[in-house]
């Protein structure tokens, strides 16, 4: 009998075949590109000093061009940025009904990645903020803008030592209007869950109309506006599996074309962040201008 069971199990193994497709199931364009070698990366980025690494945080601000209270949120973030400096990295996401273009606000700020995040976070209004995609209230990551909640939440954030360091090297080909962004991740600690890395592109100094307390401001300056992701909304696993041991180094690269896009590359930055794919929390984030 035992022999029969072993035989059956072997047969199952022979016949069993299933490919489990992980999210995201779709991708918008071919972003695959060979990353730089470590030596080449280090020669451009400079010597890495682990002792100088500190944990930065990502603040995603959801907004809309005809959201009358949103400029208050923009001002709050400007104030917070002066307090937290380069520890704070902001991504502005236009979503919700108040971001839909209309006659007075015709510019399309919305991008598919932003709409997906808005939906996935269960949002129904703007403005609101999300800090490192950690839970704020129950299961919700949404932080309302009222009563200084953005500031207090940031002050109470997890300030534990970073598990990884992220360095970015951007290479822009003017002739092909192609950006290749390289990120080097150095693990500073062991981490139990799979880690993903995502590359977002954001842009400052976009002059477009904005509603502000009932008044249409035709030449409002929009900052850190999300233009899209280079490798999916939630990124891709580091090193294929997402599991890396302490002191290991992983290089990832993505490319994106600026052809026929109204993006000003001199105002664009790449935001690369590492995400715990089990909890969804963002563990480390870095930002780099496309053109230094």
Partner 1 sequence: MAKKRKLTYLLGATAILFMVTVLGASRLNAQIAVGNGKISGEFGFSGMYYIPDSLIGARAVESKFRANTFLSLQYSNGGFTVGARYEFYLYPLIDFEDIGYKGHGLTNYFADYRNSFIQVTAGTFYEQFGNGLTLRMYEDRQLGVDNSLTGARVRITPYKGIYIKGLVGLERNNFDFKLDDRKDYVRGIDAEFSFSDMFPVISEKGFTAIIGGNFVSKYEKAVDKFITIYPHIDTLKQDAQIDLPQNVATWAARAALGYKGFRLEGEFAQKENDPNESNQYIYKKGNALFLSATYSMKGLGVSASFIRADNMDFRSQRAAQTITSLFAINYIPAINRQYSYQLIGNYGYASQPNGQIGAQLQVNYQIPRKTKVGGQYGTDITFNFSRFHDIDKTPVPMTDSLGTASGTDGYKSKFFKFGKNLLYQDIGLELSRRFDKHWKLILAYNFISYNLELLQEHGKMFFGHNVAADLTCKINSKHALRLELQHLYAKEDTKSWVYAMLEYSISPHWFISVGDQYNYGNADKDMRIHYFNVTGAFVTGTTRIGLSFGKTREGILCVGGVCRSVPASYGLGLTVNTTF
**Binding-site ranges for partner 1 (CB under 8 A):** 1, 4, 7-8, 11-12, 15-21, 25-29, 101, 108, 110-112, 115-116, 118-120, 122
173 DSSP assignment: E
Cβ atoms of residues 157 and 131 within 8 Å: yes
Nearer to partner 1, 37 or 97 (CB): 97
Provide the minimum distance between the beta carbon of 287 and partner 1 in the complex, in angstroms, as a whole number: 26
Nearer to partner 1, 17 or 52 (CB): 17
Nearer to partner 1, 4 or 156 (CB): 4
Provide the minimum distance between the beta carbon of 67 and partner 1 in the complex, in angstroms, as a whole number: 18
Element (H, E) at 8: helix 2-15
3-state secondary structure of 146: helix
Picking from 186, 209, 250, 228, the residue whose alpha carbon sits closest to that of residue 36 is 250
Provide the minimum distance between the beta carbon of 55 and partner 1 in the complex, in angstroms, as a whole number: 30
Cβ atoms of residues 238 and 195 within 8 Å: yes
Provide the minimum distance between the beta carbon of 114 and partner 1 in the complex, in angstroms, as a whole number: 10
Nearer to partner 1, 31 or 269 (CB): 31
Q: How far apart are the first and last CA of the chain?
A: 71
Distance CA 31, CA 180 (A): 9
Residue with tokens 């200084």: 148
Provide the minimum distance between the beta carbon of 166 and partner 1 in the complex, in angstroms, as a whole number: 26
Q: How many CB atoms lie within 10 A of CB 234?
A: 21
Nearer to partner 1, 105 or 118 (CB): 118
Residue with tokens 């022999």: 3
Provide the minimum distance between the beta carbon of 274 and partner 1 in the complex, in angstroms, as a whole number: 22
Cβ atoms of residues 203 and 223 within 8 Å: no
Nearer to partner 1, 97 or 278 (CB): 97
Provide the minimum distance between the beta carbon of 206 and partner 1 in the complex, in angstroms, as a whole number: 16
Nearer to partner 1, 9 or 50 (CB): 9
* 104 contacts: CB under 8 Å, gap ≥ 6: 66, 209, 216
């Amino acid at each position: 009998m035992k022999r029969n069971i072993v035989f059956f199990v072997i047969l199952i193994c022979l016949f069993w075949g299933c490919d489990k497709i992980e999210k995201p199931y779709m991708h918008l364009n071919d972003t695959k590109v060979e990353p730089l070698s470590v030596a080449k990366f280090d020669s451009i980025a400079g010597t890495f000093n682990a002792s100088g690494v500190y944990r930065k945080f990502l603040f995603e601000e959801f907004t809309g061009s005809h959201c009358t209270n949103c400029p208050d949120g923009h001002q709050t973030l400007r104030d917070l940025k002066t307090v937290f400096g380069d520890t704070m990295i902001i991504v502005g996401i236009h979503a919700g009904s108040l971001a839909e273009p209309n006659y007075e606000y015709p510019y399309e700020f919305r991008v598919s990645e932003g709409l997906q995040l808005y939906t996935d976070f269960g949002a129904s209004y703007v403005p609101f903020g999300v800090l490192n995609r950690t839970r704020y209230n129950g299961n919700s990551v949404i932080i309302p803008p009222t009563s200084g909640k953005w500031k207090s939440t940031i002050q109470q954030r997890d300030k534990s030592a970073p598990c990884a360091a992220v360095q970015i090297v951007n290479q822009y080909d003017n002739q092909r209007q192609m950006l290749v962004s390289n990120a080097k991740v150095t693990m500073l600690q062991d981490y139990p869950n799979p880690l993903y890395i995502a590359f977002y592109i954001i842009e400052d100094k976009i002059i477009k109309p904005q509603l502000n307390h009932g008044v249409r401001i035709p030449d409002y300056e929009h900052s850190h506006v999300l233009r899209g992701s280079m490798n999916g909304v939630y990124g891709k696993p580091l090193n294929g599996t997402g599991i890396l041991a302490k002191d290991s180094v992983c290089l990832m690269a993505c490319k994106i074309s600026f052809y026929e896009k109204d993006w000003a590359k001199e105002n664009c930055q790449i935001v690369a962040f590492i995400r715990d794919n089990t909890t969804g929390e963002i563990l480390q984030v870095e930002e780099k201008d496309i053109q230094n």
